[in-house]
Amino acid sequence: RKEVEQDPGPFNVPEGATVAFNCTYSNSASQSFFWYRQDCRKEPKLLMSVYSSGNEDGRFTAQLNRASQYISLLIRDSKLSDSATYLCVVTRGGGGNKLTFGTGTQLKVEL
């Protein structure tokens, strides 16, 4: 079993739709949580950090449930430019804080 699990998708949604991605992690010692965005043939880029209290950045809302070891990302009013792969990422802290990535969930926003 992978340490970080995601539904690979693809999720095909119309422009303007609300879409939610989920992720589970297996290591209860995980300390920090992130969503990264990766466009085709590009490097991963940090989208947002994820906190237990939930956090919002414009159309994006992230939530962490430590008890269930579950992370979510909600995108409202999706745009064509949101089409990308969304990577769920955790760290265990210490040792440089290496990132452990999920497989990624592919989103395609269509007209």
Interface mask toward another protein for 23-62; x: CB under 8 A: ---------x---------xxxxx----------------
b/e per residue 75-84 (b: at least 16 CB within 10 A): beebeeebbb
Minimum CB separation of residue 35 from another protein in Å reads: 12
The whole-angstrom separation of Cα 37 and Cα 75 is 12
Kindly state the number of chain residues that form the binding site for another protein, as judged by CB under 8 A.
Answer: 20
CA trace torsion 82, 25, 9, 51 (10° rounding)? -20
Interface mask toward another protein for 68-87; x: CB under 8 A: -------------------x
Q: Give residues with Cβ within 8 angstroms of 95, minimum separation 6.
A: none
Strands 45-49 and 32-38: antiparallel
12 binds another protein (CB under 8 A): no
User: Which of residues 11 and 104 has its CB atom nearest to another protein in the complex?
Assistant: 104
User: Which of residues 18 and 27 has its CB atom nearest to another protein in the complex?
Assistant: 27
